[in-house]
Amino acid sequence: MARALLLASGRALFGLDIKEVREVLKAPPLHYVPLAPALVLGAINIHDAVVPVFDFSQLRGAQSEVGEHIVVLQGACMALAVNAVHGLCSRTIAMPGGIMHPWVRETFISVRGLAGLIDPVALQQTLEQRLSTTRSLPAERVSEWIAR
């Protein structure tokens, strides 16, 4: 049976397929990321790799409520700060899709209640949209030139 790591953020429950989790850390030292939006809490040093930590509460549109658990995702070079990690659970009676968040792949019943299964790829796409800036220099210069 499919198993997930059950996470709590505010009063909501979320799950991450265990294959998507690299490790769970408790209060590792967070390093400052300059020029980053508030969504980025900092960066951690994991086995000599620099991994950004995102405030999961803000990601789901709630008020920032930083917890001390940090879940590092497998493959995707990122980590999520959550309020609590409730351990592993089985995903029974899962329904595809989620209503509130495009990055929730399915809704399932866990031991603690209804939880949304996070789709890391969709989560990355959401992040991409939120972090996208006017980075491309030529396009910026083109519009400057046209404006003149």
Partner 1 sequence: MDRSVNQPEYFHTFLAETQEHLLTMQRWLSVMSNHPEDQEALLCLFRSLHSIKGMAASMGFKGLAKVAHGMEDGLDRLRRSGKLPAEAVEPLYQGLELLEARLADIASGNPESQEGAGVGDPKERVHTLRISIPGGDVALWMLVVNELMRLGTLRSCEPAPEKIAEGTLPAVLEVDLLCRFEIEEIEQRCQRICDSVAVELTSRADAEPGLAMQHGVGQPTVRVSTNLLDRCVGLSGELLTVRHRLQASLKQGNQEEIEGSCLQLDRLLADLRHQVLDARMVPLEAVTASLPRLVKDLCRNTGKAIRLNLVGNEVRLDRAILEAMSEPLVHMVRNAVDHGIEEQGTITIAARRDRDRVTLDVIDDGRGFDVEWLLERARQDGFLEAGENTHLSGSELLQLICRPGFSTARRITETSGRGIGMDVVRHTIDKLGGTLQLLPGQGQGACFRFILPLTVSIVPVLLVEAGGQTVALPLMWIEQTLDVPRQQLRCFDDSHTIDLGNRQLPVVFLSRHLGHSPFSGNGSSTIICELRGGHAGLVVDAVIGQREVFVKPLDFPLNRIQGLSGATILGDGRVVFLIDPCSLLPSPSLIPSKGEAL
Taking CB under 8 A as the criterion, the residue among 7, 43, 80, 115 binding partner 1 is 43
From residue 46 to residue 85, the character string flagging contacts with partner 1 as x (rule: CB under 8 A) and all else as - is --xxx-x--------x---------------xx-------
User: Which of 69, 57, 74, 97 is closest to 17 using CA atoms?
Assistant: 74
3 - beta bridge partners? Answer: 90
User: Which of 52, 56, 53, 54 is closest to 12 using CA atoms?
Assistant: 56
Tokens encoding 99: 């209503």
Tokens encoding 102: 């495009």
Taking CB under 8 A as the criterion, the residue among 36, 62, 66, 109 binding partner 1 is 36
φ/ψ of residue 121, rounded to 5: -65, -45
Nearer to partner 1 by Cβ, of 93 and 128: the residue is 128
Nearer to partner 1 by Cβ, of 56 and 89: the residue is 56
Taking CB under 8 A as the criterion, the residue among 4, 8, 41, 127 binding partner 1 is 127
Find where tokens 């029974």 sit: 92
Q: Does 93 bind partner 1 (CB under 8 A)?
A: no
Q: Are 45 and 31 in contact (CB under 8 A)?
A: yes
Question: Which residues of the shown chain bind partner 1 in the complex (CB under 8 A)?
Answer: 29, 31-37, 40, 43-45, 48-50, 52, 61, 77-78, 96-102, 122, 124-125, 127-128, 131-135, 137-138, 141-142, 144-145, 148
